[in-house]
Chains A and B, each alone.
Chain A
Amino acid sequence: MAPLLEIKSLSTHFFTDDGLVKAVDRISYDIHEGETVGLVGESGCGKSVSALSLLRLIPNPPGKIVGGKIFFEGRDLLKLTEDEMCEVRGNKMAMIFQEPMNSLNPVRTIGWQISEPLEIHLGMSREEGLKKCVQLLTDVKIPEPATRVNAYPHLFSGGMRQRTMIAMGLGCNPRLIIADEPTTALDVTTQAQLLELMKNLTRDYQTALLIITHNLGIVARYADRINVMYAGRIIEKGTAVDIFKNPRHPYTEGLMASVPRLDYDIKKKLVPIEGQPPDFLNMPKGCSFHPRCVYVFDRCRVETPELIPIFENHEAACWRNVK
């Protein structure tokens, strides 16, 4: 069965006054119907940019998708016209943003904003839309949905706003929801609630979910497969179980080691990854991670590794895996 989403060698570059930034450099991965995929990496590694590229929401200037293909439901999104793309957005593929306060229109009611995609794509009238809206708000567990529909975003708490965004995303029953750092702006308890909610909803609606985050804990629990991103490239891919049990890239290893875990000995020290994330304007030669790598050897400094299959469904871009 063909994957719902197939990204092939996608590249998005930013042409700034200070130089060329290859925010996304030839990444490839798939997402299948109904599955949850995690895209993990630290801040600034390009994961959000890659997500925006899927919906072709990259601001131009200064950014531009310069290469690759994005096959969604069999069509290459990069070849669609803008109008055709508008039909996909919010309808077949929806995105949930972080910072829900800024991502919601302050002068429009919640009801208006949630029912908007319903009106645009499903042709509903305002009344029909608002009715569906109440149902959606109930799904995302917002209390008193019938009154909330007429409220303005600034009256909501952070968690409620994020739930609103989820409701907005679910409205047209999309095949894929992209959640960009959905819980970063929230406290831990709310985070857990929201993630459970999203997991249940995607299961109930049969929606595929792409979770973009820097938080390993989230992907460990909720994702089926994981892609690890570093400096604009995917450097490891595999099932969640594989990646956690047996990370094959030093960066992924480093990420695991720097996360505190309840099942570790309390005296065991947290090991941070040495060094700084690379400057996109001044990338290291060879493997982009090599300046920070504890296993570095000569080949790493010279040749940039591509993703190398190690086990079935587990690849890593590291010369250590090549004997």
Chain B
Amino acid sequence: MNFFLLSLIKAVVVAFVLLTTLAYLQWVERKVIAHIQVRPGPYRVGPHGLLQPLADVIKLITKEDLIPPYTSKFLYLLAPFIAVTMALISISVIPFGGPIRIFGDNTWMQLTDLNIGVLFVLAISSVGVYGIALAGWASNNKYSLLGGLRSSAQMISYELPLSLAVAAPLLLLNTLSLRTIVERQSGYYLGFIPHWSIFQMPMPQIFSFVIFLIAAFAETNRIPFDLPEAENELVAGYHTEYSSMKFAAFFMAEYSNMVTVCAMTTTLFLGGWLPLWPAAAGSEFLPTLIFLFAGAIALYHGLNPVRRRDAYTFPAVAVVFFVLALIFLVPMLRGALLPLFWFAAKTGGLLFVFIWIRGTLPRFRYDQLMAFAWKFMFPVAVVNLLVTALLVALFS
């Protein structure tokens, strides 16, 4: 099979998985927020609201697509396009796993590996600001304009600590290619502490990790930094004047940025697809155990049904879990599934933190946000970078 066809297949698979994840991430977010606020969340469309994303997509496609008068039409249409394109592109350099064999061809579980991968992601994310800034300006609406202004100021300010926080682990790992970054984090201290950037000697990158995560919240316009779309003061911020699929494009861009940022954090700090403890100590059986446990719980509830239909639905769910547990034991699929499991688990955990914080923290005031970026985050990031550089120069 030639290179072109293989790349095409990988691109289609990655795009399909990413778009499905984006649709269901919104369902997960609504469910988690709902449970934090002690209410059930979406429940009507499908079992536990599982078909809600589909219903939302149908709703957004069939809504009237309105272009308000007195806008600059070209920029108004260009803005959501830029936002969603720049948000989706970054996934192409993220490595999901090690080398695999498909139909006799060796390939990597990654679309492409650039030797400037980290810089590529930073460049794409810095261009993504235009989507929001132009949307705010082109809408010819004071709330949109304020949202766009806030967003561009916020993103410029937080890009500095973000880049400095990225630079520190790069000093340890000494490469810009994302695949090599993950490979250099393999191995264990004392047989059980992984060589991930956040644990790696001579300077564990815990501070960089925290700074990166905080700046990432600001870069993706999430609570507590979601001032560009603060609804109590700005209606909906930069996308006030957008309807139908153009509104959906901004929504998709926001969730896609979240996925990208979490995948980047996983790759840079948490060892990408590498397991938490060595395979010799049984890390390869963890997914099987998790699915077996989940299946056992479902089976228990099926045997002691609270409602009448539980006697049929829970055993069915249990069978699905047991099949998944067995799939992780098949030697042929294992090589591909285990890295995917670890990558998805870490990225998913970080995504959960994003949602959790949205359900927990209030919003900053705008001056607090700027003061926090320039007077706290930036100096801490600089000191962290200098200390890391010193220790790396002394000990390696």
Query: A and B: partners?
Result: no
Residues of B within 8 A of A (CB): none
